[in-house]
Chain A
Amino acid sequence: MTELTPVLSAHWDEKDSFTIEAYKRHDGYKAAKKALAMDPDELIQIVKDSGLRGRGGAGFPTGMKWGFIPQGDNKDHYLVVNADESEPGTCKDMPLLLANPHVLVEGVIIASYAIRAKHAFIYIRGEVTHVVRRLNQAIEDAYKAGYLGKNIFGSGQDLDLVLHVGAGAYICGEETALLDSLEGFRGQPRLRPPFPAIAGLYARPTVVNNVESIASVPAIILKGAQWFQSMGTEKSKGQTLYSLSGHVANPGQFEAPLGITLREILELSGGMRAGHTLKFWTPGGSSTPIFTDEHLDTPLDYEGVAAAGSMLGTKALQIFDETTCIVRAVLRWTEFYKHESCGKCTPCREGTWWLVQILRDLENGQGTEEDLAKLLDLCDNILGRSFCALGDGATSPITSSIKYFRDEYIAHITTGGCPFDPVASTLFETAAK
């Protein structure tokens, strides 16, 4: 049985956990002080050695990303933290920032120093006012404490950190769209190359990292790469936040070593909601192909999930039980992609428009088997044909659900309607029992 390993969440139970005082009670900002006394390249090496991989979904090695920044180029470098957490099912960064914004600020200080950036930005989604408050206050307090601004920690280093608040656009989680948005444009993805490491924000070398990735750095600096390495699996090192939601007895955040299974998390948390069974789930948000109860023992690390035909993504474990209509679920996700498509490329913009119409017909019992074939062919024309991964993601729920639940789609067609009672899957239903 894998044990839970609270690191980031270790002190969230303290009522003032979000204050600078609370953070400092638990060694807060010691890592930054330590880091600033080191050589930046040494820091990059420690993060490389730790095996930390991007927690935003793609799992790219963080230290390697930092190492891509050209040094001695006499250009401004930028660190941009991606706090635009918007992938359906994903709910780890916002509670983290609400409970402990300082760990991110400290991570930013260390990462900026490592990549020789004098200016860092946190791009946070705009629909979370209280998280914005907490983070803004944390930044203000860090400035007051001399951890940000001129000559931070008396090290001679300068660092400015700006909190940039988004305004409702899922696409801005895509790193190049985020950069365009941060530059004051419509958040549409950029052509790559050039990659952000060469020409990112303001066409300068830029590192874009997820909140959890950067927040993981202070502990690595304090406790060492070895400590971090000791957790997780062969290629997926360290501990991470798993977010359990949906038809379970107890949803919530679980910090565990990479490679824990859903079966273990369910056992720890109390299982499915009473009287119900697991039907399907997402391992890492709606853009990752769905799993079923076949996959309860799949190790939730980058390799394990990929081997089983999906992606670890953001470790957003959305759990649905047998009361949930798969067609309804997929239609709603598809409507989300249609709403969030940025409009830049044809396959995603037009494709999601069409997919929604077909799925709506299917859910209403007005579809045909031909429609199913058309859906799959359309997905084939969108996947890998779109400009960025948003279009790809839009096809994941459709193709994976048809793979596992084709019969249920057919049932909608043959019975001329949806065979499910939506009331049965609500939370109120659970509460009423």
Chain B
Amino acid sequence: MFTETDLEVMQSIISRYPRSRSAIMPLLHYVQSKAGYVTNEGIELISELLTIETAEVSAVATFYTQYKRKPVGEYHVGVCTNTLCAVMGGDAILEVLKSHLGIENDGVTSDGKVSLEHIECNAACDYAPVVMANWEFYDNQTVQSAKDLVDGMRKGKPTPPTRGPDSLPTWKENSAVLAGLNDGRANEGIQAGEPTLLGLVIAQSKKGGKKK
């Protein structure tokens, strides 16, 4: 499944590091960008490229939550249910999504479009409750907005992220970004949401409005 081009990309990932073994994490992200999850073929290839045992690769792959050892959806939805998000609506959103999609936690819809996972704190607490899709931010979610989001996914037209690119990339596309590849979309989307700017805006208003 991995082509000559893939091997070249993987070699270039390895060359970023002073010691090749450091490349194992971006290589696993890269495998997910091609295969959708960490396949045995991917593990065996990494083991070969880094000249380490397959057991050592799988030891690493199974340690980190983002590496999936079975297929996920084209759109992987994570609902934050760490305390703050859970209390502010994350629990309700997760329950509704489970029944709406007819899947359990870590499940995938039968059409392969959407998978669901409850996630831990994603560093966006001032936007709670937070939902992540393919690890893009969906801030200040409600039960309804979350349902709309997954419905859009199943139709192939998901709502764009709140703070992210102009449209939601697929799981594989975003896995390539996590492998360190530039998809040219860094300039898309806003620079900051309202909460991020709140302190700045207050400071500016105390000083007599916006500078300049």
Contact across chains for B192 and A17 when beta carbons are under 8 A apart: yes
Residues of B within 8 A of A165 (CB): 25-26, 29, 178-180
- Given contacts A137-B182, A184-B23, A243-B126, is CB(A253)–CB(B199) below 8 Å? yes
Contact across chains for B200 and A339 when beta carbons are under 8 A apart: no
Contact across chains for B65 and A168 when beta carbons are under 8 A apart: yes
Tally B residues with Cβ within 8 Å of A. Answer: 83
- Given contacts A202-B18, A202-B19, is CB(A133)–CB(B183) below 8 Å? yes
Contact across chains for A167 and B199 when beta carbons are under 8 A apart: no
User: B155 in the interface, Cβ–Cβ < 8 Å?
Assistant: no
Give 1 or 0 for each of A121-147: 1 = CB within 8 Å of chain B CB: 000011111101110111010000000
In angstroms, Cα B116 to Cα A333, docked, is 21
B interface residue numbers (CB < 8 A to A): 16-19, 21-26, 28-29, 50, 59-60, 63-67, 78, 81-84, 86-89, 91-92, 119-129, 132, 134-137, 140, 142-143, 161, 163-165, 169, 174, 177-180, 182-183, 185-187, 189-204, 206, 210
13 CB-based A-B contacts, threshold 8 Å:
A6-B199, A19-B187, A95-B192, A127-B78, A137-B182, A164-B26, A167-B178, A168-B64, A183-B19, A184-B23, A184-B25, A246-B88, A254-B198
In angstroms, Cα B186 to Cα A252, docked, is 23
Residues of A within 8 A of B163 (CB): 98, 130
- Given contacts A85-B123, A99-B192, A140-B182, is CB(A129)–CB(B142) below 8 Å? no
- Given contacts A130-B165, A167-B29, A181-B25, is CB(A3)–CB(B206) below 8 Å? yes
In angstroms, Cα B135 to Cα A119, docked, is 28
CB neighbors of B among A175-227 (8 A):
181-187, 202
Contact across chains for A133 and B120 when beta carbons are under 8 A apart: no
In angstroms, Cα B143 to Cα A184, docked, is 39
Residues of B within 8 A of A320 (CB): 84, 87
- Which of A7-15, A54-62, A347-355 lies at the interface? A7-15
Residues of A within 8 A of B92 (CB): 422-423, 426, 428
User: A261 in the interface, Cβ–Cβ < 8 Å?
Assistant: no
In angstroms, Cα B16 to Cα A182, docked, is 12
Residues of B within 8 A of A318 (CB): 83-84, 125
Contact across chains for A18 and B191 when beta carbons are under 8 A apart: yes
Contact across chains for A336 and B120 when beta carbons are under 8 A apart: yes
Question: Which of A165, A256, A324, A329 counts the most chain B CB atoms within 10 A?
Answer: A165
User: A266 in the interface, Cβ–Cβ < 8 Å?
Assistant: no
In angstroms, Cα B127 to Cα A253, docked, is 11
Residues of B within 8 A of A126 (CB): 29, 64, 66, 135, 178
Residues of A within 8 A of B17 (CB): 162
Contact across chains for A252 and B165 when beta carbons are under 8 A apart: no
Residues of B within 8 A of A162 (CB): 16-17
User: A308 in the interface, Cβ–Cβ < 8 Å?
Assistant: no
User: A51 in the interface, Cβ–Cβ < 8 Å?
Assistant: no
Identify the closest chain B residue to A123 (Cβ).
B25
Contact across chains for A324 and B87 when beta carbons are under 8 A apart: yes
Contact across chains for A167 and B202 when beta carbons are under 8 A apart: no
- Given contacts A202-B18, A245-B84, is CB(A339)–CB(B120) below 8 Å? yes
- Given contacts A89-B125, A252-B194, A340-B120, is CB(A129)–CB(B88) below 8 Å? no
User: A166 in the interface, Cβ–Cβ < 8 Å?
Assistant: yes
Partner of B22, one of A183, A253, A426: A183
User: A364 in the interface, Cβ–Cβ < 8 Å?
Assistant: no
Partner of A90, one of B28, B123, B143, B195: B123
Partner of B129, one of A18, A85, A427: A427
In angstroms, Cα B132 to Cα A120, docked, is 29
- Given contacts A133-B177, A168-B65, is CB(A269)–CB(B198) below 8 Å? yes
Contact across chains for B140 and A427 when beta carbons are under 8 A apart: yes
Residues of A within 8 A of B142 (CB): 427-428, 431
Per CB-CB distance, the 6 closest pairs between chain A and chain B, nearest first, are A252-B198, A168-B65, A137-B186, A167-B64, A252-B195, A254-B199
Contact across chains for B191 and A15 when beta carbons are under 8 A apart: yes
Residues of B within 8 A of A12 (CB): 191-192, 196-197, 200
Contact across chains for B83 and A167 when beta carbons are under 8 A apart: no
Contact across chains for B121 and A90 when beta carbons are under 8 A apart: yes
Minimum Cβ distance to chain B for residue A124 (Å): 9
Residues of B within 8 A of A251 (CB): 125-128, 195, 198
Contact across chains for B180 and A163 when beta carbons are under 8 A apart: yes
CB neighbors of B among A14-30 (8 A):
14-19
User: A79 in the interface, Cβ–Cβ < 8 Å?
Assistant: no
Identify the closest chain B residue to A140 (Cβ).
B182
- Given contacts A4-B203, A86-B120, A165-B179, is CB(A332)–CB(B81) below 8 Å? yes
